[in-house]
Structure 1
Amino acid sequence: MLPLEIGSLALPNAPDWGIALGLSTAGFAAKSFTAQTTSAPRVRSFTKAALARWDVEDGVEAAVLVAWELATNAAQHALRRDGRGAPEQAWLGLLRREEAVVCSVTDPSPNPPRLQPPDLMRRSGRGLLLVTRLSSTWGWSLSAAGTKTVWARVPTVR
C-alpha cells in the first residue's frame, strides 16, 4: 500500500510528475539522471540543494543517502542504452512533507527491487538495507507503461 502522499509516481511522463500529482514546485523537485559516473555526485548535490531550499535541518544526511542509493540501484540494474546508443534516463523525485521527505526514483525497468539478506562481507547489494534502516517506510509501484518507481519516506525536521 502506498502512502497518500506518494500516489502513483510511476507515471509514463516522468518530467510532468509535479503537474500530474498536483504539487507545487515549492514542495517538489525532480531531476533526470543516467548511469554515467557523474550522475551520483549530481544526485547528491541536487538532493542537498533541495533540502536546503526547504529549510530541512535534521535528516539531511539520511535523505541524501537514500536518494543516492535509490538512484544507484536504478543506474546499476535498470539503465541501459536505447536503440540509438544513447543512455536511458531515470528520474529522481523529492517531495517535501511536514515531517518527512519522500525520495523516489522512476526508471524504465519493470523488475521489482530485491532486498538482499544482510551480509556484511558482500561488497554490494546492501543499498535497500540502508534504505530500510534510514526510512520510515519504502516500497515500489509499476505503471501501466511498464516503468517502475521505488520510493522511501525519510523522517526530517524543519
Structure 2
Amino acid sequence: MDEERKDGAGERPKMFSNMTAWLGGLTGLIVAVTGLIAVWPHAKQAEPVEDAAKPVENSDAAVSTDAAAADAAAQPLPLKYKAVGATFEKVDGEWVYASANEETRYTEVSRTDGNTVVFDPKREVYARWPNQGGKVEEKGADNQAEWEDSFDIWVPKPAPPAE
C-alpha cells in the first residue's frame, strides 16, 4: 500500500496550466491598455500658436485654394505695410512700427507663407499678422494670454509707373 501512484494524480491537470498562462497574458494586456489610457491625454500635442486651417470639403474649392497658395508662394512676401497713421516695415533685419509719436522695433521670430510672428523685447510682447495684411494680434511673452487684436495693416499698392 505504500506504493506511489504512477498515474500523475499529484500533478495539476493540463487545463489549469493553460488557464494560468492565459490569465497571465490577459493581465499583462489589461495593464498595458490601462497605461495607454492614462497617458493618452498627456501625449496629445499642444495646440500650435497659429490657428490651423480647416479642411475644405468642396474639391473645386480645394483646387482653387491650392492654386492661390501656389501663386502666393511664387510672389515674394511683403516687407512694408501701412496702418492708420503709421507704417510697419522691415528695416535692417528688424520690423519697425513707426507713427508720428512712436517707434517700436520687433525681432522676427518666424515667417511662413501664412503669417509673420515678431517679438518686442522692451514690452515683452509677441505680435503676429497675416502676410497679405489684416489684423495684427499681440500676446504677452508668458504665453498664457490669448491673442488680442491690436490694429489693422495692409500692403500698400505699388505706385503707378512714371510716364
User: Under a length normalisation based on structure 2, what TM-score does the superposition of the two structures give?
Assistant: 0.25
Could you say which structure has the larger radius of gyration? Answer: 2
Q: Which has the higher contact order (CA 8 A, sep 6+)?
A: 1
User: Under a length normalisation based on structure 1, what TM-score does the superposition of the two structures give?
Assistant: 0.26
